[in-house]
Structure 1
Amino acid sequence: MAAQHETQLIDETKDALRETAQLIEAAANAQGEEAKQLYAKIADNLRTAKHRLVELETQSVDKAKQAAKQTDEYVHAHPWQAVGIGAAVGLLIGFLVARR
């Protein structure tokens, strides 16, 4: 559900930015009141995109915090398994780096 919401926010943000780019092109050729209206719409679209990006950032930070908390709980509950996993990952990275 959250992933679907994130995808929707990303799509809406892309749409808003695409529309903003089109409005900027139209505003370049506009004059007078039409130009003012286009620039107001551009500003509104950019505020909307910024709001959606902040919402995505908040969701991402929340997920990262949740993952860190779960990792911390796992390490405290299974310290030797965590050490083994860390050692295995270290060996794998060392092996990959040595091959270069």
Structure 2
Amino acid sequence: MARKTATNEQDALVAEFKALVADTEKLLQDSAELAGAEAEVLRQQMHDSLKRAREALQGAEQALLDQGKAAIDATETYVSEHPWHALGIAAGVGFLLGLLSSRR
């Protein structure tokens, strides 16, 4: 379920950036024809778009940090509850990596 949430957040972030790029391109095209008060309105719209993008990035960053901390906590809990299983898994992974690296 955490994976679905991360995917949804990534999709929302990508959509936000696509909208930002589209808005910025449109605003830049329109800015060539504008002067005075209209240019100020255009600059404010660009500023608002960039602010939304920054907020979306900060939200995504925080979500990734939270997921990383949750993964670390889950791993630490598992290892403390099942130390022999964790040791066996680590030994197996080490053995497989050793086999793979010796073939090259």
| Alignment TM-score > 0.5, same fold | yes
**Does residue 1:46 correspond to 2:65, yes or no?**
no
C-alpha RMSD of the superposition: 2.2
Tell me the TM-score normalized by structure 1: 0.80
Unpaired stretches in structure 1, ≥5 consecutive residues: none
Tell me the TM-score normalized by structure 2: 0.78
Deviation at 1:97, TM superposition (A): 2.9
Unpaired stretches in structure 2, ≥5 consecutive residues: none
Judged with a 3 Å threshold, the aligned counterparts in structure 2 of structure 1 residues 35 and 68 are, in CA distance, closer, same or farther, namely same
| Inter-partner Cα distance in structure 2 for 1:31 and 1:87 | 69
Structure 2 SS opposite 1:30: coil
How many corresponding residue pairs?
A: 100
Equivalent residue, structure 2, for 1:2? 5
Quick one: which amino acid aligns to residue 2 of structure 1?
A: T
Equivalent residue, structure 1, for 2:62? 58
Of structures 1 and 2, the one scoring higher in RCO (CA 8 A, sep 6+) is: 2
| Inter-partner Cα distance in structure 1 for 2:28 and 2:103 | 50
